[in-house]
Structure 1
Amino acid sequence: MTAAALLNDLKSRKFKPVYLFHGEEPYYIDVFSDYIEANLLSEGEKGFNQTVLYGRDTDIITVLNAAKRFPMMSEYQLVLIKEAQDMKWGKETEDKKAGDPFLAYLERPLASTILVFCYKHGKFDKRKKTYKAIEKNGVVFESATIYDNKVPAWVEDFAREKAYRINPKASALIAEYLGNDLSKISNELEKLMLNIPKGNEITPEDVQNNIGISKEYNVFELQDALAKRDVLKANRIVGYFASNPKANPIQLVLGALNTWFTKILKYHYIADKSPQNLARELGVNPYFVKDYDQAAKAFNITRTFEIISFLREYDLKTKGVDSTGNTVEGDLLKELVFKILHV
């Protein structure tokens, strides 16, 4: 089940008796559990029918006792276990005679109890009988870490759901500078949207003004300078990066350049260079295809291979390998850009 389908079911009040939200990415775990906590019961029903427990302060017996209760003057009761990864889950027994009361409950859960486990920062063991019972009789949703190249599309979907449009360059800026932490991205977008009327397009300038990304000195402007062989602009940008290493860590810059040059290399090998096909094959918004056209003219296949080799070399140098004593990040970045443009 997709996140959108699950949220739609919750909004339609198509509830299951037990939910397990687990995975490395906490964003969706919070979205689903917060929605259930806020909307399953009315304010008047919550006093008698809502139980919120925290993993490190509870155990299976406590959860089981709460789940077995019946609601008072309500269709449902909610038993919500937050930080369930810290809970003492107990050992599953293979002894059928001894029985496992918790597993027995999960195999035949009460329809009037909505039991929710929020298991963060890791995957629940899918080999366990507990997992299989929840999967069979309820809903299991794994909130996996999103790949970096999928973040711009996620940002665009998030904006659309909030009744905004977002410029492709703006979504790419957000992805590049905030990474793939969806909670952080959503928080920054929510704050940004407070200053922009609904229905408007979020522009790169909006992102730069509200999320603290420099208008002139960012990795996209560096890529643009390299593609145009603009030595002065490229040196000015890396000089700014060197002076502001916390805002522009070399690992982030190297990662962005490596992704960019890898796509330039792929561009050279794509036979069908129509804009639609290039966008699909490179995994970019069609808005950026013209930038790859220009970059490919500046760096042929042989040169692109050489630059990717430089990037690997300087990545190792930032880690102290073959650095010949120079590990100052700003100096390494200046050396790298010099090689890209001149060697």
Structure 2
Amino acid sequence: MAPALRSFASTDRFIAEISSPASPSIRAGYVLIGDEIFLYDRCRRAVLSTLVPEGARDFALHDLDLAETSIFEALDRAQTPSLMAPFQVLFLRNLKTLYGRGSKKEEFAAIEAYFRSPNPQALLLFVADHIRIPTDLRRMDYQDKERFERIRETLGDWCGTVELARVDENDAIRWVTDTAESRGVRFDPDAARELVDSLGADMMLISSEFEKLLLYVSAPASNGVILTLSEQSESKGENLSSLPGAPHQSPAEPLARNRVTLGDVETMVLAAKQRSLYELTDAISAKDRPRALALLHGLLNASDGGEDAAIGHLYMLARTFRQMLIILEKNVRDSRAIWQALWQGFRMPPFAAEDLIRQARRYKSRRELTRALRLVARADLELRSSPANKLLVLERLILDLATEPKPSAYEPSHQFAMEL
């Protein structure tokens, strides 16, 4: 049996404790601390499947927001037995409202009074998702650490604590391969690592893309790579139509591969494609012309449209240089500040934040980045004019971007041809 994953240890203990309403280890309340949504959903599903029957959820399950419902009302609801359900579960979101301005002595006194004599037919689950717990606790933000300790000091005597920390990359890779194996699919180790790396170990994104990949490789193949039943039979010298129970002249269904390869991840996961783009901008910002050209050719070879996808690549290049321009202008120095500098819809994937900050800091001034945008705009205009050789246009662009600009006697305009 494979060893348990360390990142899942806290949620595994919680799930074991709530295995039954009559379990002697179950507590009257728990605090789910952390913003890892994947682990929170795992805990919630376990609670619902164990303690809340499907047909009784309208009466047994209560999702309350402490910003809208007072803690007194929530505790009163927990203390009052339900006539329609044998057991009640209350999820109390926005726990941070109990730790805002003011002493909140009355609120904590009411909580203490409830837990001194709790309703054995109710479970309280406080959700503290305003705290971020990193994989390495030593790197936890000082403010988050203070909030964490205050919750433990006030609720720790009465409630169990479930830490929803960010999942370690190696544990995420193990989860991908083990979960795929349990569902009859082989997930190649290099494919699992690429999936986790490209999504920055964000388990919600990983689980979503994981399901998509499993559907992709489990569906009947139609690309001719996988042998059909008839082809396999012919290779063995068998006649499929003569087999017992075989339908007369019925086309055979192609077999699924049930294996996820690195190529599948690069084909199906957008972030994996974007990784190559950020590697390209890394080579450009480092003025490494041979590597930049090699990465350009790799990017085109991996594209479904080849050179015909060139305008899409130019759009992503322009977008990336605009992101770097904002990072440079706002003097962003860490990944946490980048989410304030870049607005929703204009942010990069989590895995690229640190890389893009490093790349932006290689440029000495705003002028260099606006020059790069002008070069991309000029190449875009050339491509839309149906040039004889699109690859030549792209190669010249990459060489120009990866070359130190020549000093000019005049101040160039900061306006460029088009807004990409």
Pairwise same-fold verdict (TM > 0.5): yes
Distance 1:218 1:31, change over 3 A: same
SS at match of 1:111: coil
SS at match of 1:172: helix
The AA in structure 1 aligned to 2:110 is: P
- Of the structure 1 ranges 142-151 and 237-246, higher mean CA displacement relative to structure 2 is found in 237-246
Pick from 107, 112, 122 the counterpart of residue 113 of structure 1: 122
> 1:104 & 1:181 partners in 2: Cα distance?
39
Pick from 98, 102, 105 the counterpart of residue 111 of structure 2: 102
Tell me how far 1:182 sits from its aligned partner: 1.4
- Give the match for residue 71 of structure 2: 60
> 2:111 & 2:129 partners in 1: Cα distance?
21
Tell me how far 1:211 sits from its aligned partner: 2.1
Render the CA deviation track for 1:96-120: whole Å, top value 9, x for unaligned.
Answer: xx98112222354332211112222
1:144 aligns with 2:165: yes
The AA in structure 2 aligned to 1:7 is: I
Identity within the alignment, %: 20
Render the CA deviation track for 1:107-166: whole Å, top value 9, x for unaligned.
Answer: 5433221111222242572343x5346433432112122355654344334434555431
* Contact residue 195 and residue 272 of structure 2 kept, 8 A: no
1:180 aligns with 2:251: no
Please provide the CA RMSD for this pair: 4.6
Tell me how far 1:28 sits from its aligned partner: 1.0
- Give the match for residue 60 of structure 2: 49
Equivalent positions of 1:21-32 (< 5 A) are 21-32=32-43
Distance 1:42 1:84, change over 3 A: same
Distance 1:172 1:86, change over 3 A: farther
Distance 1:209 1:75, change over 3 A: same
> 2:313 & 2:84 partners in 1: Cα distance?
64
> 2:356 & 2:91 partners in 1: Cα distance?
48
* Contact residue 103 and residue 133 of structure 1 kept, 8 A: no
Tell me how far 1:200 sits from its aligned partner: 3.1
Tell me how far 1:75 sits from its aligned partner: 4.2
SS at match of 1:141: strand
Tell me how far 1:207 sits from its aligned partner: 1.8
Pick from 81, 85, 92 the counterpart of residue 92 of structure 2: 81
* Contact residue 192 and residue 210 of structure 1 kept, 8 A: yes
Pick from 208, 213, 217 the counterpart of residue 196 of structure 1: 217
The AA in structure 1 aligned to 2:121 is: S
- Of the structure 1 ranges 207-216 and 166-175, higher mean CA displacement relative to structure 2 is found in 207-216
1:236 aligns with 2:297: yes
SS at match of 1:2: helix
* Contact residue 148 and residue 175 of structure 1 kept, 8 A: yes
Is there any run of 5+ residues in structure 1 with no aligned partner, and where?
Answer: 224-228, 253-311
Tell me how far 1:21 sits from its aligned partner: 0.8
> 2:165 & 2:117 partners in 1: Cα distance?
28
SS at match of 1:325: helix
SS at match of 1:109: coil
The AA in structure 2 aligned to 1:210 is: M
> 1:50 & 1:246 partners in 2: Cα distance?
48
* Contact residue 29 and residue 159 of structure 2 kept, 8 A: yes
> 1:326 & 1:242 partners in 2: Cα distance?
20
- Of the structure 1 ranges 314-323 and 184-193, higher mean CA displacement relative to structure 2 is found in 314-323
Tell me how far 1:31 sits from its aligned partner: 2.0
> 1:231 & 1:246 partners in 2: Cα distance?
13
Distance 1:81 1:72, change over 3 A: same
The structure that has the greater radius of gyration is: 2
Equivalent positions of 1:218-233 (< 5 A) are 218=276, 233=294
Render the CA deviation track for 1:145-200: whole Å, top value 9, x for unaligned.
Answer: 23556543443344345554311221122123222321121112122222333993
* Contact residue 66 and residue 97 of structure 2 kept, 8 A: yes
* Contact residue 36 and residue 166 of structure 2 kept, 8 A: yes
1:322 aligns with 2:393: no
TM value normalised by structure 1 = 0.61
Render the CA deviation track for 1:309-335: whole Å, top value 9, x for unaligned.
Answer: xxx999556147524732238989868
Tell me how far 1:237 sits from its aligned partner: 3.7
Tell me how far 1:64 sits from its aligned partner: 1.1
TM value normalised by structure 2 = 0.51
Distance 1:214 1:20, change over 3 A: closer
Is there any run of 5+ residues in structure 2 with no aligned partner, and where?
Answer: 1-8, 133-143, 219-255, 283-289, 301-309, 324-353, 377-396, 405-420
> 1:119 & 1:186 partners in 2: Cα distance?
23
> 2:115 & 2:207 partners in 1: Cα distance?
34
* Contact residue 65 and residue 92 of structure 2 kept, 8 A: yes
> 1:108 & 1:178 partners in 2: Cα distance?
46
Distance 1:221 1:8, change over 3 A: farther
Tell me how far 1:83 sits from its aligned partner: 4.5
Pick from 266, 273, 291 the counterpart of residue 208 of structure 1: 266
- Give the match for residue 148 of structure 2: 126
